Amino acid sequence: MPPSSINLDDAGRLMEILSRKWRIDEGCLAIVESWNRMIRFSNDSITASKFWHQATIALYFLKKGRRATAVLDTPEVDSIEEVADRLTSTMKFMEPSPVTFHLPRGPFQYGVVEDMFDKDVLADEDKLIDWVEAGINSSKEEGAERSSGVLTTSRFRRFVYTTGECEGSEEATRLEFNIRAFSNKEASGEENFSSSCLKGFDPGSIGREAGSTASKSKGGKKIKGGRFHAVLHPNVVANLMGSVGASCSAYSVDIGLSFLSDKMGDPVSPPTFTLADNPRFPGSPGSHLFDDEGYPTREVILIDGGVLRSYLHSSYTAAKLGGALTGSAFIAPPTGTLPIPQSLIINPGDYTLYEMVEEVKEGILVTNNWYTRFQNYLTGDFSTIPRDGAFKIENGETSYSVKGLRISDNMIKILSSIAGISKQRKWVMRWDAETPTLSPYIIVKDLNFTTN
């Protein structure tokens, strides 16, 4: 792979030029470069092999109580200066913020994160094809007729430089593998893997899991809707917990889009449930050493033993709502920096999957979902559609595949109805679960299912 075309010295010089030329009070510059290799496959055949390089530069300016941001996809200095000129011109017409705040003052020591970079992830095209074929062949051994999916490996270099003497650089890798197996038109199973390193990566096992679910999904039956105890697969848990992480953003609280508003210090789930945001967790595909304001990342316990303990903060939200910086601020036009979860961690429980199904006795096992939509973010009312294998649980065993169901419920109720958490956890990061989540199986009591 080619060497980086940008380094920390470049970022520093550029920040000095922008600060001096446009006379901003404070500001930060974040640069991300990535090198990506992708193998896409459909109906058991490779359909695309692609390599590409990306570079994005994000600016955040503070001047006379006003703030403005921009993101551009070119490292050319002339283009950056042109955008900076437009930003500062626009700021003249903005109303000053009533909130007085400042960006963090450095310098800081950022340390290291275990397994954040693994050179073995950056394999050549032939190796990636071997991994894909291992997944495809294993899915067929479990009864799948065909499989489709994508394997992507990435290398990231990131630089942040601020007027507050914060400067940092980091390098990371990421591997994402997603395979969806089909045993007929209506019977499918999906499995995935994501990590910053190759530890635990077994494409054959991933393919077997997808193929097994697809094979068991044949002959899906329609059943009446109602409230059922449910066992939710890590894929489903990650999708739903992404909304919990978003509701823990102080920005969501501030604008009235959090179902966890006004619940600080209150019990929101059973004491067996703990949720953290930890970009320093080894192997996380969302690993970071610092945020875009240059503040060090750290573990933030959001829900501790069932009690809501913390929101995620940027400099702005910490000043407005009261709170400590959490290393969660990332530039997001046109707002400024937003506190965004990067690596959600759910503490493990005591159950095996077998014990969870046995415990539920009568209910539904949901292995995947999509089209999660909120009717009301503030109250937490939402719906989502099970896919890729949902199974009726009878007499403590999975019995037959079910179809035509929709989950229509409330996130606050779901959190309070958690009745079991598995020992087994896996990283989930994909198109409908964008926040990397170390996710277990979870039992939810009386989950509301409706018919499509």
Tokens of 415: 């959190």
Kindly report the length of the chain. 452
What span, in angstroms and rounded, lies between the C-alpha atoms of 418 and 100?
A: 41
Which residue stretches of 350-417 are H helix?
353-360, 411-416
Over residues 218-251, the pLDDT tens digits come to: 999 999 999 999 999 999 999 999 999 999 999 9
| pLDDT for residue 431 | 87
| pLDDT for residue 4 | 47
Q: Residue 50's closest CA among 62, 65, 35?
A: 35
Q: Residue 57's closest CA among 35, 83, 37?
A: 83
CA distances to 241, 244, 354, 382, 390 from 414, in Å: 10, 11, 22, 11, 18
DSSP H or E run through 72: strand 66-72
What are the per-10-residue average pLDDT scores of the chain (452 residues)? 56 79 91 96 98 93 94 78 87 93 97 98 97 98 97 97 94 98 95 98 98 97 97 98 98 98 98 99 98 98 99 98 97 92 99 98 97 98 97 96 98 99 98 95 99 82
Beta bridge partners of 79: none
Long-range interactions of 320-324: CB distance < 8 A, separation 24+: 320/99, 320/101, 320/254, 321/250, 321/253, 321/254, 323/250
| pLDDT for residue 8 | 66
Over residues 302-329, the pLDDT tens digits come to: 999 999 999 999 999 999 999 999 999 9
| pLDDT for residue 335 | 83
Q: Residue 119's closest CA among 193, 194, 175?
A: 175
| pLDDT for residue 6 | 61
Domains of the chain, first to last: 8-214 (3.30.2290.10), 220-451 (no CATH)
Q: Helix %, strand %, coil % for the chain, to 5?
A: 25, 40, 35
| pLDDT for residue 452 | 72
Q: Residue 307's closest CA among 348, 336, 258, 266?
A: 266
| pLDDT for residue 3 | 40
